[in-house]
Structure 1
Amino acid sequence: MTITKGKLPPKDYHSEPNAEHSLLRTNRAKSYPTPDGKLTFDKLSSVFLSGNRTRDDQPNHIRIERQVPRELAELWTNMCPAQVYEVGAAHGDGTVTVNLAPSNCVQCGAITAKGGRLTPPEGGSGPEYTLT
């Protein structure tokens, strides 16, 4: 801006609102190798290997809406590295119930970027990462 003092050469700049772009849907998950327990692991085995010390009976520390549109529930399910979110029962208005398994949470913070709130778990429990 300092060189041109806010003036750009005349040109037609074409832009589209972000909401008009369709969601990217692929079958990428089908191309991943099946977990063998040596080189590749499934999500729940990876949660166990993270040293997660969260009790199954402790209060939920993830704050989200439980009844959301199916697209959002599937997004949460796919982005979570610890299989915390599951798409539940469908409702007549196009929404679904989101089921949670907060004891699997590895505190990655991804849900805070997509409409949820992550609070510290009770007693400071959670994954115990170590330097290797």
Structure 2
Amino acid sequence: LKGVHYAMHAGIYAAEAIYDQLKRSEGVVTDLSAYDARVRDSAIDKEIYRSRNMRQVFSKGFFAGGAMANLMEITGGRFPAGHFHTENDAEVDVFIGDRSKSYPKPDNELTFDKLSSVFLSGNATRDDAPNHIRIQEHVPLEVALMWQNMCPAAVYQVPDEVLERAEQNGGLAGMEGETVDVQVTPSNCVQCGAITAKGGRLTPPEGGDGPNYQLA
């Protein structure tokens, strides 16, 4: 997980700084400025500096953003210089897209449908296990569709009658803001964490259930 190794190393540096102070001050800690110096002189500071604008540059598009990201990686973050502005994801409107129709159908050799992928993950969660996903189930259609499309395990589903009505109307345009009841199947969940990107929260499933990935 991103940042976990930074937290571990930062904890080590904190312990070392406290230990040094205890030795020098006869059991009294009065100054921990050495901790800040240790972190800034470590790989933590260098790696964070190198990638500080990595997300922001992709607001300029895939190709321009990719080129700038590579330059940052090569130069250790020295170019492009400065700190780019970051937008708050929560303030960005969710829109209803229609790109899923252009996706190729699964060939069951290299690509699979979502439920087949859940089976291949070895998911052992009981169908009647308590729901470990914390979301509002009555939400605007655009939010429900976003959850449905980004979830790799078909945990969230927009009711068929809503999709059928949209098809009869010639598409989803004009249905923005309409609220729907999302159908949730928590036993499918493979703990990817995608739902936390916009409006949801995962909690540990009962008994540590979930996917049981195996090396082939």
TM-score (structure 2 length as normaliser): 0.47
Letter matched to residue 60 of structure 1: N
**Which residue of the partner structure matches residue 100 of structure 1?**
184
Matches within 5 A, 1:39-54: 39-54=110-125
* Residue 112 of structure 1, aligned match among 187, 192, 196: 196
Unaligned 5+ segments in structure 1 are 1-17
Greater RCO, 1 or 2 (C-alpha within 8 Å, sep 6+): 1
Higher strand share: 1
* Residue 130 of structure 2, aligned match among 49, 59, 63: 59
CA root-mean-square deviation: 2.7
Identity across matched positions, percent: 65
Q: Go from structure 1 to structure 2 and tell me whether the alpha carbon gap of 1:20 and 1:74 turns closer, same or farther (over 3 Å shift).
A: closer
**Which residue of the partner structure matches residue 124 of structure 1?**
208
Paired with 1:45 and 1:102, the residues of 2 have a C-alpha distance of 16
Q: Is the 8 A contact 2:122 2:211 kept in 1?
A: yes
Structure possessing the higher radius of gyration over alpha carbons: 2
Regions of 4+ moved over 4 Å: 18-22
TM-score (structure 1 length as normaliser): 0.74
Q: How many residues of Structure 1 are paired with residues of Structure 2 in the alignment?
A: 114
> Residue deviations 1:58-77, cap 9 Å, x none?
11110100111111001000
Corresponding residue SS for 1:51: coil
Paired with 1:75 and 1:117, the residues of 2 have a C-alpha distance of 15
